[in-house]
Amino acid sequence: MSVDIYKINPEFRDIMPQEIIDLEDNATWAGESVEKRGINDLTDKKEILEEHSLCAGCPEAAALRYILAALPLPEETIIVNSTGCTSLMFPHIALHTVHSMFGNQNAVASGIKRTLDWRFPDKTKDVVVLAGDGATIDIGLDYTLQSFFRQEKITTICFDNEVYANTGGQESGSTPKGQVFKMAPKGKVFDKVPMWELAVTSGCQYSVKLTASAPKKVAKVLREAVLIARELGPTYIHLYTPCILEIGLAANEGLWEMKEQDKDRFADFKYVSPEAEAYLKECKKEGLL
Protein backbone atom coordinates (compact mmCIF):
# COMPACT_ATOMS: atom_id res chain seq x y z
CA MET A 1 0.00 0.00 0.00
CA SER A 2 1.93 3.04 1.18
CA VAL A 3 3.53 4.57 4.21
CA ASP A 4 0.07 5.93 5.05
CA ILE A 5 -0.63 2.79 7.00
CA TYR A 6 2.03 3.82 9.48
CA LYS A 7 0.53 7.25 10.01
CA ILE A 8 -1.55 8.32 12.94
CA ASN A 9 -5.27 8.52 12.34
CA PRO A 10 -5.98 12.29 12.30
CA GLU A 11 -8.94 11.73 14.64
CA PHE A 12 -6.57 10.50 17.32
CA ARG A 13 -3.72 12.88 16.75
CA ASP A 14 -4.70 15.21 19.57
CA ILE A 15 -4.56 12.47 22.18
CA MET A 16 -1.33 10.88 20.96
CA PRO A 17 1.79 11.17 23.14
CA GLN A 18 4.45 13.41 21.63
CA GLU A 19 6.72 10.37 21.28
CA ILE A 20 4.31 8.73 18.86
CA ILE A 21 3.85 11.95 16.91
CA ASP A 22 7.63 12.25 16.66
CA LEU A 23 7.76 8.76 15.17
CA GLU A 24 5.69 9.92 12.25
CA ASP A 25 6.99 13.45 11.84
CA ASN A 26 10.56 12.35 11.95
CA ALA A 27 10.27 9.18 9.88
CA THR A 28 12.69 8.36 7.10
CA TRP A 29 10.40 6.44 4.83
CA ALA A 30 7.82 8.95 3.76
CA GLY A 31 7.97 10.69 0.42
CA GLU A 32 11.45 11.89 -0.54
CA SER A 33 13.96 9.58 -2.03
CA VAL A 34 14.04 6.19 -0.39
CA GLU A 35 17.62 5.74 -1.61
CA LYS A 36 18.76 8.29 0.88
CA ARG A 37 17.76 6.23 3.87
CA GLY A 38 20.77 4.96 5.71
CA ILE A 39 23.08 4.87 8.63
CA ASN A 40 23.13 8.64 8.86
CA ASP A 41 19.52 8.53 10.05
CA LEU A 42 20.45 6.58 13.16
CA THR A 43 21.30 9.54 15.29
CA ASP A 44 18.03 11.42 15.01
CA LYS A 45 15.28 9.26 13.49
CA LYS A 46 13.13 7.87 16.22
CA GLU A 47 11.31 5.25 14.17
CA ILE A 48 14.44 3.24 13.49
CA LEU A 49 14.48 1.86 16.99
CA GLU A 50 14.63 4.00 20.02
CA GLU A 51 14.38 1.41 22.73
CA HIS A 52 15.08 -2.25 23.03
CA SER A 53 14.76 -4.92 25.67
CA LEU A 54 18.16 -6.53 25.24
CA CYS A 55 21.10 -6.28 27.61
CA ALA A 56 22.73 -2.88 27.90
CA GLY A 57 25.41 -2.58 25.23
CA CYS A 58 24.24 -5.62 23.28
CA PRO A 59 25.68 -5.52 19.75
CA GLU A 60 22.50 -7.18 18.44
CA ALA A 61 20.52 -4.06 19.22
CA ALA A 62 23.00 -1.92 17.31
CA ALA A 63 23.07 -4.34 14.38
CA LEU A 64 19.29 -4.34 14.15
CA ARG A 65 19.30 -0.56 13.98
CA TYR A 66 21.80 -0.64 11.12
CA ILE A 67 19.60 -3.08 9.29
CA LEU A 68 16.40 -1.14 9.83
CA ALA A 69 18.08 2.04 8.69
CA ALA A 70 19.32 0.39 5.51
CA LEU A 71 16.20 -1.45 4.31
CA PRO A 72 15.56 -0.18 0.79
CA LEU A 73 11.77 -0.27 1.11
CA PRO A 74 10.78 -0.53 4.76
CA GLU A 75 7.05 0.06 4.30
CA GLU A 76 6.88 -2.95 1.97
CA THR A 77 9.20 -5.13 4.03
CA ILE A 78 8.15 -8.03 6.21
CA ILE A 79 10.57 -9.41 8.75
CA VAL A 80 10.23 -12.98 9.93
CA ASN A 81 12.06 -13.77 13.10
CA SER A 82 12.43 -16.68 15.44
CA THR A 83 12.63 -17.46 19.11
CA GLY A 84 15.70 -16.18 20.92
CA CYS A 85 17.20 -12.86 21.93
CA THR A 86 16.26 -11.35 18.57
CA SER A 87 12.60 -12.03 19.26
CA LEU A 88 12.76 -9.60 22.15
CA MET A 89 13.34 -6.68 19.81
CA PHE A 90 10.52 -7.15 17.39
CA PRO A 91 7.64 -5.90 19.47
CA HIS A 92 9.39 -2.53 19.23
CA ILE A 93 9.40 -2.32 15.46
CA ALA A 94 6.69 -0.67 13.39
CA LEU A 95 7.09 -3.01 10.40
CA HIS A 96 5.07 -6.10 9.69
CA THR A 97 6.94 -8.73 11.64
CA VAL A 98 6.15 -12.35 12.31
CA HIS A 99 7.45 -14.36 15.18
CA SER A 100 7.48 -17.85 13.68
CA MET A 101 8.29 -20.66 16.05
CA PHE A 102 11.84 -21.84 16.53
CA GLY A 103 13.69 -22.94 13.43
CA ASN A 104 10.88 -22.71 10.90
CA GLN A 105 11.46 -19.03 10.06
CA ASN A 106 12.61 -19.68 6.49
CA ALA A 107 9.61 -21.92 5.86
CA VAL A 108 7.16 -19.29 7.13
CA ALA A 109 8.98 -16.66 5.10
CA SER A 110 8.75 -18.84 1.97
CA GLY A 111 4.98 -19.03 2.32
CA ILE A 112 4.68 -15.30 2.90
CA LYS A 113 6.93 -14.31 0.00
CA ARG A 114 5.25 -16.64 -2.49
CA THR A 115 1.81 -15.47 -1.43
CA LEU A 116 2.72 -11.79 -1.68
CA ASP A 117 4.14 -12.38 -5.17
CA TRP A 118 0.85 -14.09 -6.07
CA ARG A 119 -1.40 -11.48 -4.49
CA PHE A 120 0.54 -8.39 -5.55
CA PRO A 121 2.09 -9.18 -8.94
CA ASP A 122 2.82 -5.52 -9.66
CA LYS A 123 4.39 -4.59 -6.34
CA THR A 124 7.71 -5.03 -4.68
CA LYS A 125 7.41 -6.81 -1.36
CA ASP A 126 10.63 -7.69 0.45
CA VAL A 127 10.77 -10.55 2.92
CA VAL A 128 13.71 -10.67 5.32
CA VAL A 129 14.41 -13.46 7.80
CA LEU A 130 16.30 -12.46 10.90
CA ALA A 131 17.16 -15.15 13.42
CA GLY A 132 19.92 -16.27 15.70
CA ASP A 133 22.51 -18.97 15.11
CA GLY A 134 20.54 -21.62 17.01
CA ALA A 135 17.44 -21.01 14.90
CA THR A 136 19.32 -20.69 11.62
CA ILE A 137 21.99 -23.35 11.94
CA ASP A 138 20.87 -25.91 14.53
CA ILE A 139 17.17 -26.45 14.92
CA GLY A 140 16.29 -24.72 11.67
CA LEU A 141 19.13 -25.85 9.39
CA ASP A 142 16.82 -27.98 7.27
CA TYR A 143 14.41 -25.11 6.66
CA THR A 144 17.20 -22.61 6.07
CA LEU A 145 18.95 -24.76 3.48
CA GLN A 146 15.75 -26.00 1.84
CA SER A 147 14.66 -22.42 1.25
CA PHE A 148 18.03 -21.86 -0.47
CA PHE A 149 17.60 -25.01 -2.57
CA ARG A 150 14.16 -23.83 -3.63
CA GLN A 151 15.60 -20.45 -4.62
CA GLU A 152 13.14 -18.56 -2.44
CA LYS A 153 13.46 -14.85 -3.04
CA ILE A 154 14.17 -13.95 0.56
CA THR A 155 17.10 -12.50 2.47
CA THR A 156 18.24 -14.53 5.45
CA ILE A 157 20.23 -12.80 8.16
CA CYS A 158 21.83 -14.83 10.92
CA PHE A 159 22.71 -12.89 14.03
CA ASP A 160 25.51 -15.15 15.15
CA ASN A 161 26.35 -14.69 18.82
CA GLU A 162 27.92 -18.15 18.93
CA VAL A 163 25.71 -19.30 21.79
CA TYR A 164 22.15 -19.95 22.90
CA ALA A 165 21.95 -16.75 24.88
CA ASN A 166 18.25 -16.36 25.62
CA THR A 167 18.09 -19.78 27.28
CA GLY A 168 21.11 -19.13 29.44
CA GLY A 169 24.31 -19.77 27.53
CA GLN A 170 24.38 -23.19 25.92
CA GLU A 171 26.73 -24.36 23.19
CA SER A 172 25.43 -23.97 19.64
CA GLY A 173 26.63 -25.30 16.30
CA SER A 174 28.12 -21.89 15.76
CA THR A 175 30.20 -21.92 18.94
CA PRO A 176 33.93 -22.17 18.20
CA LYS A 177 35.63 -25.47 18.97
CA GLY A 178 36.96 -25.76 22.51
CA GLN A 179 34.70 -23.09 24.01
CA VAL A 180 33.21 -24.10 27.35
CA PHE A 181 29.51 -23.34 27.56
CA LYS A 182 26.60 -25.04 29.24
CA MET A 183 25.85 -28.41 27.63
CA ALA A 184 29.51 -28.49 26.60
CA PRO A 185 31.06 -28.52 30.06
CA LYS A 186 34.30 -30.00 28.73
CA GLY A 187 34.43 -27.61 25.81
CA LYS A 188 32.88 -27.88 22.37
CA VAL A 189 34.30 -30.84 20.48
CA PHE A 190 33.56 -29.91 16.87
CA ASP A 191 34.24 -26.93 14.65
CA LYS A 192 32.07 -23.90 14.16
CA VAL A 193 29.59 -24.69 11.37
CA PRO A 194 30.62 -22.69 8.27
CA MET A 195 27.11 -21.57 7.46
CA TRP A 196 28.25 -18.88 5.02
CA GLU A 197 29.87 -21.63 2.93
CA LEU A 198 26.85 -23.91 3.18
CA ALA A 199 24.81 -21.00 1.89
CA VAL A 200 26.94 -20.84 -1.24
CA THR A 201 26.84 -24.56 -1.98
CA SER A 202 23.10 -24.57 -1.27
CA GLY A 203 22.34 -22.04 -3.95
CA CYS A 204 22.49 -18.57 -2.42
CA GLN A 205 23.14 -15.82 -4.92
CA TYR A 206 24.99 -13.85 -2.30
CA SER A 207 26.62 -14.86 0.96
CA VAL A 208 28.57 -12.55 3.23
CA LYS A 209 30.19 -13.07 6.62
CA LEU A 210 31.06 -9.99 8.65
CA THR A 211 30.78 -8.44 12.08
CA ALA A 212 28.59 -5.54 13.05
CA SER A 213 31.63 -3.41 13.86
CA ALA A 214 31.24 -1.08 10.88
CA PRO A 215 27.68 0.29 10.48
CA LYS A 216 28.10 1.48 6.90
CA LYS A 217 29.45 -1.88 5.81
CA VAL A 218 26.49 -3.69 7.38
CA ALA A 219 24.12 -1.27 5.68
CA LYS A 220 25.72 -1.78 2.27
CA VAL A 221 25.66 -5.57 2.57
CA LEU A 222 22.03 -5.53 3.70
CA ARG A 223 20.96 -3.34 0.84
CA GLU A 224 22.76 -5.47 -1.73
CA ALA A 225 21.30 -8.65 -0.24
CA VAL A 226 17.73 -7.37 -0.33
CA LEU A 227 18.01 -6.06 -3.87
CA ILE A 228 19.48 -9.34 -5.14
CA ALA A 229 16.88 -11.45 -3.32
CA ARG A 230 14.13 -9.39 -4.90
CA GLU A 231 15.30 -10.19 -8.41
CA LEU A 232 17.37 -13.35 -8.38
CA GLY A 233 17.01 -15.63 -5.40
CA PRO A 234 18.12 -16.34 -1.85
CA THR A 235 20.77 -14.22 -0.16
CA TYR A 236 22.53 -14.83 3.14
CA ILE A 237 24.20 -12.55 5.67
CA HIS A 238 26.16 -14.03 8.54
CA LEU A 239 26.66 -11.29 11.08
CA TYR A 240 28.69 -11.50 14.28
CA THR A 241 26.82 -9.94 17.17
CA PRO A 242 28.66 -11.25 20.23
CA CYS A 243 26.88 -12.08 23.44
CA ILE A 244 28.90 -9.87 25.74
CA LEU A 245 27.17 -11.37 28.75
CA GLU A 246 28.11 -14.98 28.02
CA ILE A 247 31.71 -14.23 27.08
CA GLY A 248 32.20 -12.01 30.09
CA LEU A 249 32.57 -8.58 28.54
CA ALA A 250 31.37 -5.25 29.84
CA ALA A 251 28.59 -3.24 28.22
CA ASN A 252 31.08 -1.03 26.38
CA GLU A 253 33.29 -3.86 25.08
CA GLY A 254 31.09 -5.27 22.31
CA LEU A 255 32.56 -3.13 19.59
CA TRP A 256 36.08 -4.02 20.64
CA GLU A 257 35.22 -7.74 20.49
CA MET A 258 33.75 -7.38 16.98
CA LYS A 259 36.83 -5.51 15.79
CA GLU A 260 39.01 -8.31 17.16
CA GLN A 261 36.99 -10.88 15.30
CA ASP A 262 37.12 -8.90 12.05
CA LYS A 263 40.65 -10.28 11.90
CA ASP A 264 39.86 -13.78 13.13
CA ARG A 265 36.76 -15.99 12.91
CA PHE A 266 34.77 -13.31 11.13
CA ALA A 267 37.37 -12.25 8.62
CA ASP A 268 35.69 -11.11 5.43
CA PHE A 269 33.90 -13.73 3.37
CA LYS A 270 31.94 -12.60 0.39
CA TYR A 271 30.41 -14.62 -2.42
CA VAL A 272 28.44 -12.98 -5.20
CA SER A 273 27.10 -15.11 -8.04
CA PRO A 274 27.97 -13.87 -11.56
CA GLU A 275 24.29 -12.97 -12.15
CA ALA A 276 24.15 -11.08 -8.88
CA GLU A 277 27.40 -9.30 -9.73
CA ALA A 278 25.92 -8.08 -13.02
CA TYR A 279 22.70 -7.09 -11.30
CA LEU A 280 24.51 -5.05 -8.66
CA LYS A 281 26.24 -3.10 -11.42
CA GLU A 282 22.84 -2.25 -12.87
CA CYS A 283 21.58 -1.19 -9.47
CA LYS A 284 24.54 1.15 -9.11
CA LYS A 285 23.74 2.73 -12.46
CA GLU A 286 20.15 3.25 -11.39
CA GLY A 287 21.25 4.82 -8.12
CA LEU A 288 19.77 2.07 -5.96
CA LEU A 289 23.10 1.48 -4.26
Partner 1 sequence: MSIKNMTEEKNWSGQKLVSTDYLLFEAPREKHFMTGSEVLKEAIKRCTVDASVSYPITPQSEAAHLIGELWAEGYVGLYFRGENEFGVMSEVQGCAMAGARTVTTTSGPGTLRAMENFPTWSGTRIPCQLVLMARGINSPLTIQPDNLEVSFLLETGCMIWYAENVQELFDMSIAAFTVAEKPDVHVPIITAVDGFFVSHTRESVMLPADDIALHPYDPYASPLPPIDSEMPPGRFLRDPFVMKSNYISYATHASWQWEVRSAVERSKPYARHYLQGLVHTTGDEDAEIVFVACGTATHQAKEAHRELAKLGIKSKVVKLRTIRPFPHQELLEATKNAKYIFVPEFNIVGWLDKEVTQSLYGKTEAKIVGRPRVAGGMSMPAEAILREVFENTNVKGA
The separation between CA 132 and the C-alpha centre of its own chain, rounded to angstroms, equals 9
CB 117 within 8 A of CB 157: no
Out of 10, 31, 121, 185, the residue judged to bind partner 1 by CB under 8 A: 121
Q: Is 189 in the site for partner 1 (CB under 8 A)?
A: no
Nearer to partner 1, 29 or 279 (CB): 29
Binding flags for partner 1, 129-168, as an x/- string (CB under 8 A): -------------xx--x---x------------------
Residues contacting 160, CB < 8 A, separation 6+: 132, 133, 174, 195, 238, 239, 240, 241
Q: Which of residues 245-274 bind partner 1 (CB under 8 A)?
A: none
Amino acid (one-letter) located at 222: L
We find the least distance from the C-beta atom of residue 103 to partner 1, in angstroms, to be: 8
Number of residues that bind partner 1 (CB under 8 A): 44
Closest CB to partner 1 among 2 and 252? Answer: 2
Q: Using the minimum distance from each CB to partner 1, give the nearer residue, 73 or 214.
A: 73
**Cα–Cα distances in Å, from 219 out to 42, 66, 120, 156, 225?**
11, 6, 27, 15, 10
Does position 118 interact with partner 1 (CB under 8 A)? The reply is yes
Q: Using CB under 8 A, which of 30, 114, 271, 275 touches partner 1?
A: 114
Rounded-to-integer distance, Cα 103 and Cα 279, Å: 31
Contact letters (x/-) for partner 1, 25-54, by CB under 8 A? ----------------------------x-
Using the minimum distance from each CB to partner 1, give the nearer residue, 118 or 189.
118
Cβ-based nearer residue to partner 1, 18 or 118 = 118
164: left (phi over 0), alpha (psi -120 to 50) or beta: beta
Decide if residue 115 touches partner 1 (CB under 8 A). yes
**Which positions ≥6 away from 200 have C-beta within 8 Å?**
207, 271
Q: Give the shortest CB-282-to-partner 1 separation in angstroms.
A: 25
The secondary structure of residue 28, as a DSSP letter, is S
Beta bridge partners of 207: 236, 271
Residue with Cβ nearer partner 1 (85 or 218): 85
* 1 is an interface residue for partner 1 by CB under 8 A: yes
Would you mind telling me the total number of residues written for the chain in this entry?
289
* Min dist. Cβ of residue 29 to partner 1 (A): 12
Nearest by Cα to 207 from 217, 216, 215, 197: 197
Binding mask 64-103 for partner 1 (x = CB under 8 A): -----------xxxx-x--x---xx-xx--xxxxxxxx--
Beta-bridge partners for 209? 238, 269
Are residues 188 and 200 in contact, defined by beta-carbon separation less than 8 angstroms? no
For partner 1, the binding residues (CB under 8 A) are 1, 5-6, 53, 75-78, 80, 83, 87-88, 90-91, 94-101, 104, 107-122, 125, 142-143, 146, 150
